[in-house]
Amino acid sequence: MAGGDVSFHAPPRIDVEADVVVIGAGACGLVAALRAKAAGAEVIVLERDRSPSGSTSMSSGFVPAPATRFQRAIGVDDDTPARFEADILAKSKGLSDHRLARLASRTIAPAIEWLANEHGLEWIVLDDFLYPGHSCHRMHAVAERTGAALLARLLAATERAGIPVVTNAHASRLFVREPRVDAVEVERANGNAEFVGLRALVLACNGYGGNRALVRRYIPEIADARYYGHAGNTGDALLWGQALGAECRHLSGYQGHGSLAHPHGILISWALMMEGAIQVNGQGKRFSNEHGGYSEQAVKVLRQPGGFAWDLFDERIHAFAQSFPDYREAVEAGAVRRAGDVAELSATTGARADELEATLAEVRGLSQGRGADRFGRDFTGKPPLKAPFYAVKVTGALFHTQGGLVIDDDARVLDANGVAFDNLLAGGGAACGVSGPDVAGYLSGNGLLTAIGFGYIAGATAARGRLVLG
Ligand SMILES: Cc1cc2nc3c(=O)[nH]c(=O)nc-3n(C[C@H](O)[C@H](O)[C@H](O)COP(=O)(O)OP(=O)(O)OC[C@H]3O[C@@H](n4cnc5c(N)ncnc54)[C@H](O)[C@@H]3O)c2cc1C
């Protein structure tokens, strides 16, 4: 069975039952499971993969949150949920769903403090660079600064809490007696079907980045680009929602990225651009304000001849980048090329030396305060680039879709009339996010923001449903 099916009949049998069933063992699903369990519910997490990873483990693991004790510990004491909400809305030019932006910006700090207090996830706040659109340092990460470590810690917490995470369990069909979901059919690795009864269902199976047909239908501009998120995110939540008449919004919204090492497929952090790196095309020419945002940069890079660009920087930025595990991986893979001077840079990139020289001279002047950048970037405040240079060939990619099922403030899925389904909840990439309808609306961190924030709400609501209905 392809997935995303809905049956309006009773399931043939029930093999196992739980108060709360969660589909997907990424950040959203595991946080929802932990919260529901803490509220007294019996929870089962269903995960299609043999070993949970999801986009969460592929991510950098940076979670934006305002007014946390972790920020205060490093002297950031002027952040507020309202300020964060304003940043989210500014990035999307006001096109994000305002209610969801408010909900997310008010929920995420309690969620990550709860994960710290109850489940030992200690957070650090990254204060060595600011991502485009964030007005203060609010990006939280676990000590290893990777999504893989974040997921590992969530999985360990789930295990300590005694929550079964059933792997090789592909949820393929929902059994619905409107307005309630009664059961889920699960395909096991051996081809057998199992039927799981439930009182509340949390859809935490992310978006449709791994479903080429859906990407082509809703986001044609990125359909031919590489999808760099988790392959198993094939849009089941969206398909179930559509079959049930759920309200789906901003399906053309997504997180792109304009700096994926090519052909190595390794993320080169945008922090390098914020630190002074530039992007040029194969002709050695800049083509954009690199500080606009890495998400929209995906499309700008793909529009360049050949669909690629070069990240250019110098020894200082190369040293700065060593703190990023992805970057170290890129160095090991040979994606980061060193050039002693412009002639070598020309040989590396294939761009003409005089073009590269002109670009570097222009940027040098801008960083010394001479003139205004025609693309609008402010180069002052960082030293000019100087030899030796470093270059990474990059392309644009789709990381993660941002549209999805519209939820209410309790993370219940809403139908097209704005009425909440009784016991169907969603969060993370399965739900409509806070990035609006296009690629430029993605503020860094919007992904884990709604995965953790909405998962936290969904878990509590799902467990409450158990008390009312059980
Ligand atoms: C390279 C990269 C870097 C990123 N960096 C960041 C970052 O630093 N900060 C940030 O905020 N966001 C980042 N993101 C986005 C972030 O990873 C996602 O927004 C977030 O992980 C979504 O979490 P989730 O729980 O909704 O989905 P996932 O973590 O993808 O989990 C969904 C799970 O559902 C499972 N599943 C799917 N369908 C089914 C089914 N039918 N039955 C059973 N299981 C199913 C999948 O196998 C998967 O394990 C990044 C993304 C990428 C690709």
Q: What is the pTM of this model?
A: 0.95
**pLDDT given at position 152:** 98
**pLDDT given at position 129:** 83
What is the residue with the minimal CA distance to atom 53 of ligand 1?
229
CB of 185 closer than 6 A to ligand 1? no
**pLDDT given at position 1:** 52
149: left (phi over 0), alpha (psi -120 to 50) or beta: alpha
**pLDDT given at position 344:** 98
**pLDDT given at position 4:** 84
What is the residue with the minimal CA distance to atom 2 of ligand 1?
59
**pLDDT given at position 468:** 45
**pLDDT given at position 470:** 39
How far apart, in whole angstroms, are the C-alpha atoms of residue 413 and residue 101?
A: 16
CB of 134 closer than 6 A to ligand 1? no
Torsion sign over Cα 435, 56, 448, 311: negative
Low-confidence ranges of the chain (pLDDT < 50): 466-470
Ligand 1 centre and the CA of 73: distance in Å?
29
CB of 46 closer than 6 A to ligand 1? yes
